[in-house]
Structures are given as C-alpha cells and as structure tokens.
Chain A
Amino acid sequence: MAELFAKYNYWIYIALMMIGLYAMIAKGNLAKKIIGMSIFQTAIIVFYVSIAAKTGGATIPIIAHGHEGAEHAVRVIDYVNPLPHVLMLTAIVVGVATLGVALAIAMSIHQRYGTMEEEEILEQIRE
C-alpha cells in the first residue's frame, strides 16, 4: 500500500493527463479544448521532471562554484538528473508553439464562423 503512494508523481500525472484528455475530447468549446491540450502536455512535462528527482536531498542541477573559482569534483548524487529537464525545455517550447498555432486557428474560426462552440460550427457547415 505504501508502495503505491510512494510513487505519487505517477498518480498526479495520470490525473492531470485524464483531465486534459477529457477536456480535449468531451468539451465543445474550442478554447476549453485548447486548455485541455495544454494541461495534457503539462502533465507529461511534470512526469518527466518528477522522474529526474533523486532521494537524499538532491538539488537543482546547477553547479555551485565558490568565488575563487576553485574546481570541486562534482558529486553527481547531489544534483537531480539534468537530462529530463533539458528534454522538457524542448517539450515546453513545442507546447508553446502548438498552443500558439491552435490559438491562431481558433481565432480564425471565430472570425469565420462567429462562434467558438463546436456544435454551432458544425451546424453552420452543414448548411
């Protein structure tokens, strides 16, 4: 039982993902879909960052230097795994770009059809 809750990061990301997925699919308003998409992508980012964490008080992966510039041997165990963080920087950028494109298209749809509700748009198309 305790084991299940030890990996609480997984539960959080699954919950976020499901919320995002639900919003994307079940909601009829385009803006809500976009928000859902954003939540969905954020869930994955959270997941990746969370797996980088290490037990034992590891800190953020920025090497601390003394003012003298003395070189210490870097103890890997003190820093969280930087690779997932780096990957997620890319993913965040991708997410922002996707968000931008989606918003631009939603705006165009609103200009063209006058509404952001999927039902009303489909009705207009059917005519």
Chain B
Amino acid sequence: METVVSIKPLLACLISLAAVVPIVLSGKRPNLREGWTFLAGFAKLALVASMLPVVLGGGQIEYTLWRLMPGVSIAFRVDAMGLLFALISSTLWIATSAYSIGYMRGLDEHSQTRYFAFFAVALSATIGVAFAANLFTLYLFYEMLSLATYPLVTHHQDEEARMSGRKYLTFILGTSIGLVLPAMLVIYSLTGTLDFNQPGLLAGVSSQAVVVVLLLMMVLGFAKAGIMPMHGWLPAAMVAPTPVSALLHAVAVVKVGVFSIFRVMTGVFGVHLLRALDLGTLVAIIASVTILVASLIALSQDGLKRRLAFSTIGQLSYIVLGAALLTPKGMTGGLLHIAMHAFGKITLFFCAGAIFVATGKKNISEMVGIGRRMPVTMTAFLIGSMSVIGIPPTGGFISKWFLVLGTLEAHQIPLLVVLLSSSLLNAAYFMPVFYRAFFCTPEESQFEPGVVAEAPAWCVAPLVFSACVSVGLFFYPQPFLRLAELAIRNITGG
C-alpha cells in the first residue's frame, strides 16, 4: 500500500479554524462574514476531494503533526474510511451554511457571529476525527467537538437551553472522561501504542474479561453514537436551532460517535480478535436493542424534531450493527450507511426547519395539509423518509441492502429480523407525516388552500440539493461505495 506524506490532512482540518478569525472580525457585515464560511467550506471540500485519487488508488496519506511520547502523537492518516466521512461532512457543511443563512436571517436570530464561528470550529474537529491516525488524536478532536458544539446547542440561552446543555455535557463529557479516557490509558499501558494500524495487539497481553470490559467502555463511552442508555442527550439537544440539529445531529456529532466506534473496533481491537472472542454478537445485541427501542419511541413523538431525533438514534445503531457483523458485506453496509443516512436525515431536518421558518409549526399534529402549502419541501421530505426507511430509488436502499446481505453472510437471522422490523417501524413513523401533509380533505387542512408559501430560497435550495443527492446516490453511489469497499478490504486484510 502506497503511503504518501502530505500536509493536506492538516490543512483540511485547520482551514475552518483559520476562518474563525475573519468570521469574528467581520461580525458587523453579515454578507462578508458568511462569505468567509463559504470560502472555507469550498476550500475544505477541495482539499478533501483532492486526496481522493490517492486513496481510490489504494494508497494512504499520512502526516504527523506533533510527537508526544513513544506510541502517542498528534497524527493524521487519510484512508478510505476517513475520507468517506470527511467527504460527507465537508459537502454538507456547505449545504448547511447556505441553509443557516436562510434560517437564522428568516428568524432574525441573535449572536449569529458566534454561531458561524463555532460551527467552523466544530467542522474542524470533525475532520480531525475523520483523519485521526491514533486513538489519542481521535480523543483530542472528539473532546474539541464536544466543547465547540456546546455554544451551538445552547444558542438560545434560555432556561430550556441551559437544561439541555447540561444534559448534553453530562452524557458526552461524562462518558468520554469517565469511560473512554481510562480505557484508552489501559490500552496504552498494556500495548504501548494507540495507533490504528496495529489492530489486535490486545490479544496477546490481556485476558478475555479485560478485552470485553474495554470494548464495552469504548462502545458506551462514545456517547455521541447515541447507543442506549447513552442516548438521552440527543432528544434534549433538539432545542438547538435546526441547522445545528441538521448538521451536528445528522452528520457531524453523531457520525463522529459511530465513526469512532467503528474505528476503535477495527483499528484497536481488530476484526480477528473480535471474531475470536465472539464480541461481535455482544455489540450487535446492544445495537439491536437501541434500534428497536428508538424506533418504538419515535412512534410516540409529536414534535417533528423529536421524532427525527429518535429516528437518528435508531439509524446510528444500524452503523454499529454493521460493524458488529464483522463480515465484509455487513461492514460495508455500515460504512455506506454513514453516507446514505447523512444525506437522507439532513434532508428531513432541513424540511423540519423550513416548516418552522415558514409557518412556525413544530408539531406533527399541526402539520395537516401542509403539503399544499409547501409542496417542494414536503416532496423532499418524502424522498428523505424513503432513504431512511430504505426504499428504492433512494441511496438508503443500497446501504440497507448490504446490511441485509451482511446478516445473511454472518448467519445471523435474528439480526435480519431486527433490520426488517425496524424498517417497518421507520415506515410507520414517517409515512403518516407525509400522508397527512398531502392527502387530506380541504376541511381537515390547517392551512389556507391555494396558498403556496415556501420557506426562503436559502432554506429550500439546500434541501432540494440533499434530496436530489439521496436519489442520485441510488443510481450512482460513488465514490462512497468504492471507498467503503476499499476500507473494508483494508480492515479484513483481504
């Protein structure tokens, strides 16, 4: 495997940090300020995309920023898995920034400079996690993300935001300091390294019980992945402005969580060790419980964003389930779902926000007949739902297909049942929203007939974009499918 040394991963990570200063300085001129965000966004995407050829050709890009002690450094490694994640986040940052303009200005929100500045920092941390070469670097950027997103989650600065902020930190900081940090240190003291390209070192130096405990600490410790019972922060974080929920809780924060779990399972423990100790089953059970329970709770939620939040919790565990299957198709499905779910879910969140900006409505029961008023938005909502449920012709179908094949490959029929039943549940909580939006009598409709009043263009364009991509990915799932397959090939050593 060809390894190139290049400063690009560092630049990709830092470019949005560098943008923070101009953003803060142009606080008084909103258009200039937003211009900096877009500039940084496109630059970041360009940098990330420029690394595609090397990685698609089977290579890796490395860069060590700072050596700390033997086996511990701040280092970047761009491989297929990381590049997949980075590509999604950078693309969707640009979309979300456009959406933010429509949303924040549409509602005349306060502290917009702070918002855009911390958004940039959060994206920097996300890319840092994606390209982390070892557990220490991952932990560093993981914590940076937790801290950078706190001002975003608590943006409204009211009592509700304060309480949610506390919940957010309790779950996320509490688990990372209380579980991930000691586990990381135990791993370091046992193996002497934290690097991701040396999986399975734990096998020779510790007993089975220790490995199981460490794995559980890691899986539950990365609370951003929303695995039950560490999921409580996600619904609480819905008090944030919708663009924050959209990017952070459909793309960046939660995906960082599952990505970290995926990375640790494959890079520190290793597929062979996990298979040998049958730990895949353990993780699969935890993931399955989360999938089913979250889907059931979603059914009972009236707040649209809360329903989406629980849907996210369930969908994230699909990715963890994919990793837990430990078979090529299953893991490919899991990785691919990072991409497909991101585009699908962000469409749904964009729609929820657009509805709020245009009509002020937050609850599903208040959205009867809204399809007449906002046809573009609700069509996008339909496409997003289909992707999350996994119905063709949307991208979500492809990742679910691989996951199903994975369960068959692993001879885990119960998991197949879990997947299928959760898809049914997904349909059960999404379809009514769409149905009541379009198919109702004029009397039942809560909106004036004949009036079409979409959200501002800055809001609608991004959701149309992500909906189209969701469909497009069905027909052409590249480069994500290729990246996922390459990643799995590296992991399984085949």
Are A and B in direct contact (Cβ within 8 Å)?
no
| Residues of A that sit less than 8 Å from B by CB | none
| Residues of B that sit less than 8 Å from A by CB | none
